[in-house]
Structure 1
Amino acid sequence: MYFAIFISLFIVQRLSELWIAKRNQHFLLQQGAIEYGREHYPFMVAMHTLFIVSLIAEYQWRDGTPINWLFLVIFIGLLLFKFWVISSLGKYWNTRIFRIPNFQPVTKGPFKYFKHPNYMEVICEIAIIPLVFHLYYTAVIFTLLNAAMLNVRIRVENRVWRGEL
């Protein structure tokens, strides 16, 4: 029962993020933003979708596992950090890479302390979420896939902000 509630809320959270990103995309495009990294975006969406499928499949394959309350609390802490990141960026937060010409990056909130706080949060999230239900295969496989994806994504984003793209 805990897993069904958890995965349902997690899916709602992810869909809510996509809705916010779509709403913000309209705002950004109205401001003259240019999108970068379109070629890798479908792979990122596929990876995150397969992450959810893998969570469900491994949980079913293992015939259910007990909840690890410590990792659940850590995940809730990560969500609070994510909400801080999203609220700090406001209408500029997105799952895609946009840049408004002559606009400087946001430097408030966690961006005062970290260059890529959203990616730090996602790295932790991909590793921690499966551990809430002892889903070790999903944790390892998707931590590695996410590292490869972020390697590409962060390079593109850094090049955009340096004005190389």
Structure 2
Amino acid sequence: MPAPSLIAYLGLVLLVAAERVDELKRSRRQLHWARPRGGVEFGERHFPAVLALHVGLLVGCLLEPWALERPFLPLLAGPMVAFTIAAQALRRWCITALGPRWTARIVVLPGVPLVTHGPYRWLRHPNYLAVVVEGVALPLVHTAWLTASLFTVLYLLTMAVRIRTEQEAHAWATA
């Protein structure tokens, strides 16, 4: 029988997974909204890597604590749950601020200026910050430090490509 902490952690990871599935559904709907309005997608080739990283994070969160018998440390878990919740809140704020323009993919509408309200008032890429915080915090709720480390390094490498692609897309859209 798994430890109660593992069962609770499974619930948390499944909640985050459900949120990701909801985001993918919303993204698909909003992609269908953007395309008839001239929305153009950039970076299609790296999107599968982004998707795989998110799935890998969730799988690692589930497997590492169980397979490697990671301990549950309440003094670490408490703050990490708080950071995970804060990351989810920031992601929701980003999605709300972008409205129908938000997608999981890089889609720009020609001639439409960048969003500069909500978290975009202070940060250029707040959603990516939320993902990095989540990628560290969620695994560390149950001391899955290998998952946190691997995801963070791979995500930052992928985001270097993605952010460059976004900047090129926005330059194209506003030219």
Bin for the TM-score computed over the shorter chain: over 0.9
**For residues 41 and 10 of structure 2, what CA distance do their matches in structure 1 show?**
36
**For residues 70 and 84 of structure 1, what CA distance do their matches in structure 2 show?**
21
| Cα deviation digits, residues 32-85 of structure 1 (max 9, x gap) | 101100011111111211121111110211335325112101211121111111
> Which ranges in structure 1 are unaligned for 5 or more consecutive residues?
none
**For residues 162 and 170 of structure 2, what CA distance do their matches in structure 1 show?**
12
Summarize the alignment of residues 108-127 of structure 1 with structure 2, pairs less than 5 Å apart.
Answer: 108-127=117-136
Say which of 35, 40, 46 aligns to 1:40: 46
Task: Name the SS for the 1:17 alignment partner.
Answer: helix
Say which of 151, 159, 165 aligns to 2:168: 159
Q: Retained in 1: the 8 A contact 2:10–2:62?
A: no
Letter in 2 for 1:140: S
4+ long deviations beyond 6 Å? none
**For residues 82 and 163 of structure 2, what CA distance do their matches in structure 1 show?**
28
Identity percentage over the alignment? 28
Say which of 15, 23, 27 aligns to 2:21: 15
Matched, 1:130 2:139: yes
> Which ranges in structure 2 are unaligned for 5 or more consecutive residues?
1-6
**For residues 8 and 114 of structure 1, what CA distance do their matches in structure 2 show?**
29
Q: How many residues align?
A: 165
| Cα deviation digits, residues 119-150 of structure 1 (max 9, x gap) | 11111111111111111000111100001110
**For residues 131 and 57 of structure 2, what CA distance do their matches in structure 1 show?**
12
Look up the match of 2:3.
none
TM-score with structure 1 length normalisation? 0.94
Look up the match of 1:103.
112
Letter in 2 for 1:7: V
